[in-house]
């Protein structure tokens, strides 16, 4: 969201996290603006039965964890490093000082919020109907479009495990495996060396 040069100018700390390390946890007070510098970060929830739900996966230079700063609420989900990752961090107070001094950056941040709201609206609608094929295709199409990838058929490599797709769509691994196979049979996706192409 914010250029690397500019963010360091603003006194951001750069933190390192190992794979599977927590950056913050659900229920904690929101104190910082975060932005991915390298690697990947996911936000997730766990249901009572232990089943994971992945709200989103972020890679550089996306920001995350800022909505609770605005809404003045606790974190509604955990942030966890999916891979070894580096993250910029700016204290809440500094962040707001900065926004007020830079209306155009504030607008960028608002745009980021609106974009994520859009994604969530689409996913909520898709999750509400239980059809596994649509759930999976929507996630894949979203990722493809996010990656600003050409819209050519079966050229976008989906870099997610079947389990991650399951956790993003609320399905079970077995269902994802079976559904992706059936989608491949319908020529909606292609499977090459176990990787999914959309």
* CA gap 30, 39 in Å, rounded: 22
Q: Are 22 and 78 in contact (CB under 8 A)?
A: yes
Considering beta carbons, is residue 68 or 170 the nearer one to DNA? 170
Q: Are 23 and 87 in contact (CB under 8 A)?
A: yes
**Which of DNA, a copy of itself, none does residue 10 bind to, with CB < 5 to 8 Å depending on kind?**
none
**Which of a copy of itself, DNA, none does residue 53 bind to, with CB < 5 to 8 Å depending on kind?**
a copy of itself
- Of residues 172, 188, 190, 197, which one binds DNA by CB under 7 A? 172
Find the part of the chain contacting a copy of itself (CB under 8 A) among 9-17, 32-40, 68-76, 83-91.
68-76
The CB-of-18 to a copy of itself minimum distance in angstroms stands at 25
Find the part of the chain contacting a copy of itself (CB under 8 A) among 80-88, 101-109, 148-156, 182-190.
101-109
DSSP 37-79: EESEEEEEEE-TTS-EEEEEEEETT-EES-HHHHHT-B-SSEE
Considering beta carbons, is residue 55 or 196 the nearer one to a copy of itself? 55
- Of residues 9, 21, 27, 100, which one binds a copy of itself by CB under 8 A? 100
- Among positions 64-83, residues that touch DNA (CB under 7 A) are none
Tell me which H or E stretch contains 193.
none
- Of residues 16, 18, 110, 182, which one binds a copy of itself by CB under 8 A? 110
Nearest-CA neighbor of 124 among 53, 36, 198, 26? 53
Extract the tokens encoding 179.
């559904």
**Which of DNA, a copy of itself, none does residue 132 bind to, with CB < 5 to 8 Å depending on kind?**
DNA
In the block, which residue shows the tokens 């951001």?
Answer: 12
Mutual angle of helices 92-101 and 103-128, in 10-degree steps: 110
The CB-of-83 to a copy of itself minimum distance in angstroms stands at 23
- Torsion angles phi and psi, residue 18, rounded to 5: -80, 160
Instruction: List residues near DNA by CB under 7 A.
Output: 49, 130-132, 161-163, 170-175, 177-181, 191, 193-194
């Amino acid at each position: 969201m914010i250029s690397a040069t500019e963010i360091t100018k603003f006194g951001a700390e750069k933190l390192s996290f190992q794979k599977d390390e927590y950056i913050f946890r659900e229920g904690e007070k929101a104190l910082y603006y975060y932005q991915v510098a390298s690697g990947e970060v996911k936000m997730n929830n766990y249901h009572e039965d232990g089943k994971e739900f992945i709200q989103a996966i972020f890679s550089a230079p996306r920001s995350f964890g800022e909505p609770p700063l605005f809404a003045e609420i606790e974190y509604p989900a955990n942030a966890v490093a999916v891979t070894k990752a580096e993250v910029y961090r700016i204290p809440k107070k500094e962040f707001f000082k900065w926004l007020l001094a830079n209306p155009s950056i504030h607008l960028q941040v608002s745009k980021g919020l609106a974009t994520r709201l859009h994604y969530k609206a689409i996913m909520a609608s898709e999750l509400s109907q239980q059809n596994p094929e649509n759930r999976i295709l929507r996630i894949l199409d979203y990722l493809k479009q996010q990656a600003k990838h050409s819209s050519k058929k079966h050229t976008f490599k989906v870099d997610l495990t079947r389990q991650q797709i399951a956790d993003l769509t609320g399905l079970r691994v077995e269902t994802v495996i079976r559904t992706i196979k059936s989608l491949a049979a319908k020529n909606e996706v292609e499977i090459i060396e176990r990787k999914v192409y959309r």
